[in-house]
């Protein structure tokens, strides 16, 4: 499987993260998104006329939507990431996958504007991003009251992976995460998963590794 | 502000290779400017009011000034060596003081915590003594004999090595880093940070490199450097106060911070205070 | 709000939102705090700023009984003194390197930070338990107007929203920004808790539109 990838793209990171969590090896083909604009040049437009990344190639199959890639990776090797098979969980997964596309537009748009000079109405993007974070916070609170720590289930699904990157990187676009305790706990739970990998802007949880040398007086 | 010595410095305002795309609108120290190419392909920089600003092109970037620079832009002789590959890493905007951006670039003690498993890793956190001076002739800050153990020092490194560094500050918002070059151990790889002050708490950072590396693709080189810088960005946007304190009291340096201590002292000496605060608050 | 004595207790977070070995950002009108719980469960409120290079400590990490700054890993004890500087492993950090701390109490499932010097203990909530915290871009006054009720001496607002009883513990964070802790009866069922959460969201929407500040 070959992933056309940009290291700073949260959408590409969704796929890299999913592959790491499920142990699927990916061949990475780096795309010079910035400053080169390679995603909009002839070679990649031929593969994906939408001019977006990520693009996933597996033999003859070419996928251009990150949600589809998440579904593909889980169905191939780790179907538990799709939910427990019930209609309710499948629907919840779809609900949050659709929601995740709004995050790309609002939180992602704010980030591209604040960091990489892309055009946009920053006040509107941030306001929409805040509204989305509030929905996510309320959703996580309610899941918690149902005894579930993840968006669709009591274990992580592709719904969590689809939402996590843009949420974790919201501060890049000037949207702080301070007011959302449930999102903070959920984000920690994802970052503590076996096989979790970071992307630039999401740093390692150093607390997961014990202090390499304990100084006197610390205990 | 008119008294500010930083007005008469050169600042990066764009990539020369991107001028063909049309007029690039940006800002310099609070003033809106436009960067474009004339009929001959030469760079032109003007303010909104139509004032033509000084301009030069070097290291792949267009440089300009709101004042009248008294000296030429600094040179980097290593950049003229044959076989060097030049990497334009691309601009990143950061909501921080331009001086904070430079100071972070000069720091190595953060490597194990911020660039974990790339430029540093616990338990290899110790920063050994190194040499710092303000060179009077060039009027530049230099740190030499800097050493740090790195799991993956560069795209061209095949494993962990003790990397040697030199740091240089040739102008208030620019820094040049010279580091061990794995394919050619007697040469230095050159990595620069050119910082464009948009406002006292907002800047555009233009990293640029001159490397000996014939193996790695240009995109991989760009992505490696962008990774490092993006890891620093969330630190830079969360330092308080926003303006760099030039008086002691607010912040506590240790021996590992000697380069930054010298940088702050050099800034204060020259009245380079755009993006800085003076009285300890 | 309680009558001003020499200080008061600000409820800054739910206990459940601060698991062991974690740090979170918190705020009172006196400033920002890195609120953290050690591995053994002890809570501390440190000033949200590392004295080294000014990095927010709430972005850091907790190992054992110490809070470390994410930038250079400087570690602090709950009392505020610096324990370790990783760049100089053999160095005992001087006593002068420390972060200011504030008194913190844990009671009724809430974490209370002292602002000034409170004369008493934090108010008791008597049978109410906190459900969740949310932030409203509105003054306490706007929330009171939206609710058609006023705060009691403990800082609790009681009203009915969409036929649902709502109890909110309010504390000012900044002008036009209030921290709202939704309270429910100890015996409330999950379904009742969900209804209380939604009612609080509804009230927040009305308070914010009264405040006029949110898109």
Q: Give C-chain residues touching B240 at CB under 8 angstroms.
A: 49, 54, 56
**% of chain A beyond a pLDDT of 70:** 97
- CB B231 within 8 Å of CB B116: no
Residue B111: which CATH number?
A: 3.90.380.10
Which residues of chain A neighbour C66 with C-beta distances below 8 Å?
Answer: 218
The residues with which C168 forms a beta bridge, in sequence order, are C157, C182
Contacting residues of B for C86, CB less than 8 Å apart: 109, 112-113, 122, 125-126
Write B232-235 long-range contacts (CB < 8 A, 24+): B232/B104, B232/B105, B232/B110, B232/B114, B233/A115, B233/A172, B233/A201, B233/B92, B233/B94, B234/A171, B234/A172, B234/A201, B234/A203, B234/C59, B235/B104, B235/B110, B235/B114, B235/C55, B235/C70, B235/C71
Which runs of E-coded beta strand occur in C125-192? 128-136, 156-161, 164-174, 177-185
Residue B50 lies in a domain: no
Interface contact C53-B125, CB threshold 8 A: no
Query: Can you name the residues that pair with A57 across neighbouring β-strands?
Result: A2, A62
Superfamily of domain A2-80: Glutaredoxin (3.40.30.10)
Yes or no: say if B96 and B203 are a contact pair by the CB < 8 Å rule.
yes
Question: What residues form DSSP beta bridges with C75?
Answer: C68, C84
What does residue A144 show for φ and ψ, rounded to 5 degrees?
-60, -40
Which of A31, A115, A200 is closest, CB to CB, to B219?
A31
Is B145 inside any structural domain?
A: yes
- C128-214 folds as Alpha-Beta Plaits (3.30.70)
> B-chain residues within 8 Å CB-CB of C73?
112-113, 122, 125
The answer on pLDDT for C45 being more than 50 is yes
Is the CB of B57 inside 8 Å of chain A's CB atoms? Answer: no
Contact B235 C87 (CB under 8 A): no
DSSP, res A108:
H
Q: Which one of A8, A171, A204 has the shortest CB-CB distance to B226?
A: A8
The values of phi and psi at residue C72, to 5°, are: -120, 5
CATH (one of 1.20.120.530, 1.10.3470.10, 1.20.1050.10, 3.40.50.280) for A81-191: 1.20.1050.10
Burial of B279 (0-12, 13-18, 19+ CB in 10 A): exposed
- What is the biggest distance separating any 2 CA atoms in chain B, rounded to whole angstroms? 57
Q: Which residue among A137, A142, A218 sits closest to C83, beta carbon to beta carbon?
A: A218
Residue B217 has its nearest CB partner, among A6, A30, A35, at A30
Please write the tens of the pLDDT for every residue from C48-88: 999 999 999 999 999 999 999 999 999 999 999 999 999 99
Which residue range(s) make up the domain with B111?
A: 74-277
Domain spans of chain A, in order of start: 2-80, 81-191
Domain extents in chain C? 7-116, 128-214
- Look at the alpha carbons of A123, A125, A127, A130 in this order and tell me if their dihedral is positive or negative: negative
Is residue A5 classed exposed, middle or buried when 0-12, 13-18 and 19+ CB atoms within 10 A define those classes?
Answer: buried
**From first to last of its 281 residues, what are the pLDDT tens digits of chain B?**
435 799 999 999 999 999 988 899 999 999 999 999 999 999 999 999 999 999 999 999 999 999 999 999 999 999 999 999 999 999 999 999 999 999 999 999 999 999 999 999 999 999 999 999 999 999 999 999 999 988 766 667 777 788 899 999 999 999 999 998 888 889 999 999 999 999 999 999 999 999 999 999 999 999 999 999 999 999 999 999 999 999 988 899 999 999 999 999 999 999 999 999 997 54
SS3 content of chain B, % helix, strand, coil (to 5): 20, 35, 45
Burial class (CB in 10 A: 0-12, 13-18, 19+), B41: exposed
Contact residues, chain C, for B253 at CB < 8 Å: 52
Chain B contact present for C59, CB below 8 A: yes
Partners of A141 on chain C (C-beta within 8 Å) are: 131-132, 197
Q: Is residue B36 part of a domain?
A: no
Q: How far is C186 from chain A (nearest CA, A)?
A: 14
Cα distances from A87 to residues A84, A90, A92, A93, A152, in angstroms, run: 9, 5, 9, 10, 11
Per the listing, tokens 């794995």 go with B182
Tell me which residue in C52, C71, C87 faces B127 most closely, judged by beta carbons.
C87
C196: chain A residues, CB-CB within 8 Å: none
Q: Quote the DSSP letter at residue B130.
A: -
Which CATH fold would you assign to the domain C7-116?
A: Rieske Iron-sulfur Protein (2.102.10)
Is residue B43 in some structural domain?
no
Q: What predicted TM-score, i.e. pTM, was given to this entire model?
A: 0.95
3-state helix, strand, coil in chain C (%, to 5): 15, 40, 40
Looking at residue B183, its pLDDT comes to 85
Helices assigned H by DSSP within chain B:
98-105, 111-114, 218-236, 258-269
- Buried b / exposed e over C60-82, threshold 16 CB at 10 Å, is bbbbbbbbbbbbbbbbbbbebbb
Contacts of B164 (CB under 8 A, 6+ apart): B145, B146, B147, B179, B180
**Taking CB atoms and an 8 Å limit, are C88 and B122 in contact across chains?**
no
User: Domain total for chain B?
Assistant: 1
User: Looking at the domain assignment, is residue B38 inside a domain?
Assistant: no
C72 interfaces chain B, CB cutoff of 8 Å: yes
Residues A35, B219: C-beta atoms closer than 8 Å: no
Question: What pLDDT is attached to residue B182?
Answer: 82
Output the pLDDT for position A189.
97
């Amino acid at each position: 499987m070959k992933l056309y990838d940009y290291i700073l793209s949260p959408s590409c990171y969704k796929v890299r993260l999913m592959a790491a969590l499920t142990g699927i090896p990916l061949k990475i083909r780096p795309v010079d998104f910035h400053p080169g604009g390679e995603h909009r040049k002839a070679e990649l437009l031929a593969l994906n006329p939408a001019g977006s990344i990520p693009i996933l190639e597996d033999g003859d199959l070419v996928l251009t939507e990150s949600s589809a890639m998440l579904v593909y990776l889980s169905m191939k090797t780790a179907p538990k990431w799709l939910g427990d098979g019930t209609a309710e969980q499948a629907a919840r997964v779809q609900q949050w996958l659709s929601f995740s596309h709004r995050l790309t537009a609002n939180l992602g748009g704010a980030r591209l504007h604040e960091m990489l000079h892309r055009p946009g109405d920053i006040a509107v993007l941030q306001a929409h991003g805040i509204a989305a974070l509030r929905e996510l916070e309320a959703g996580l609170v309610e899941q918690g009251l149902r005894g579930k720590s993840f968006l669709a289930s009591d274990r992580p699904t592709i719904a969590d992976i689809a939402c996590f990157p843009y949420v974790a990187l919201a501060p890049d676009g000037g949207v702080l995460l301070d007011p959302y305790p449930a999102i903070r706990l959920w984000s920690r739970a994802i970052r503590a998963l076996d096989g979790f990998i970071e992307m630039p802007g999401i740093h390692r949880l150093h607390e997961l590794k014990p202090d390499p040398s304990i100084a006197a007086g610390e205990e | 502000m008119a008294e500010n010595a930083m007005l008469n410095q050169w600042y990066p305002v764009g990539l020369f290779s991107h001028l063909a795309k049309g007029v690039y609108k940006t800002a310099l120290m609070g003033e809106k400017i436009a960067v474009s190419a004339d009929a001959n392909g030469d760079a032109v920089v003007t303010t909104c009011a139509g004032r033509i600003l000084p301009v030069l092109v070097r290291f792949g970037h267009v440089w300009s000034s709101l004042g009248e620079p008294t000296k030429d832009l600094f040179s980097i002789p290593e950049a003229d060596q044959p076989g060097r590959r030049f990497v334009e890493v691309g601009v990143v905007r950061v909501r921080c003081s331009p001086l904070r951006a430079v100071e972070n670039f000069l720091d190595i003690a953060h490597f194990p915590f911020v660039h974990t498993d790339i430029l540093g890793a616990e338990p290899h956190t110790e920063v050994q003594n190194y040499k710092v001076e303000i060179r009077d002739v060039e009027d530049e800050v230099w740190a030499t004999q800097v050493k740090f153990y790195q799991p993956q020092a560069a795209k061209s490194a095949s494993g962990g090595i003790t990397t040697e560094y030199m740091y240089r500050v040739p102008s208030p918002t620019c820094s040049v880093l010279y580091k061990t070059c794995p394919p050619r151990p007697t040469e230095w790889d050159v990595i620069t940070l050119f910082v464009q002050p948009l406002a006292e708490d907002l800047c555009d950072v233009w990293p640029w490199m001159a490397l000996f590396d014939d193996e790695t693709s240009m995109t991989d080189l760009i992505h490696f450097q962008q990774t490092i810088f993006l890891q620093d960005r969330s630190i830079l946007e969360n330092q308080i106060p926003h303006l760099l304190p030039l008086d002691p009291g607010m912040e506590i340096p240790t021996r590992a911070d000697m380069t930054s201590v010298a940088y702050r002292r050099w800034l204060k000496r020259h009245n380079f205070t755009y993006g800085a605060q003076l009285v300890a608050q | 709000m309680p009558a001003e004595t020499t200080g008061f207790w600000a409820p800054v977070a739910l206990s459940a939102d601060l698991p062991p070995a974690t740090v979170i950002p918190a705020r009172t009108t006196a400033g920002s705090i890195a609120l953290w719980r050690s591995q053994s469960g002890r809570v501390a409120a440190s000033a949200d700023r590392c004295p080294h290079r000014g990095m927010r400590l709430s972005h850091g990490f907790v190992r054992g009984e110490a809070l470390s700054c994410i930038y250079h890993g400087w570690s602090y004890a709950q009392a505020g003194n610096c324990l370790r500087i990783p760049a100089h492993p053999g160095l005992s950090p001087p006593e002068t390197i420390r972060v200011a701390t504030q008194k913190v109490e844990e009671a009724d499932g809430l974490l209370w930070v002292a602002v000034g010097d409170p004369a008493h203990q934090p108010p008791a909530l008597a049978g109410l338990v906190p459900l969740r915290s949310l932030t409203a871009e509105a003054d306490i006054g706007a929330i009171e107007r939206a609710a058609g009720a006023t705060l009691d001496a403990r800082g609790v607002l009681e009203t009915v929203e969409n036929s649902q009883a709502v109890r909110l513990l309010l504390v000012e964070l900044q002008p036009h920004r209030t921290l709202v802790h939704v309270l429910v009866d100890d015996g409330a069922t999950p379904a009742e808790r969900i209804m209380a959460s939604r009612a609080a969201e509804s009230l927040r929407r009305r308070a914010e539109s009264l405040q006029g500040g949110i898109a």
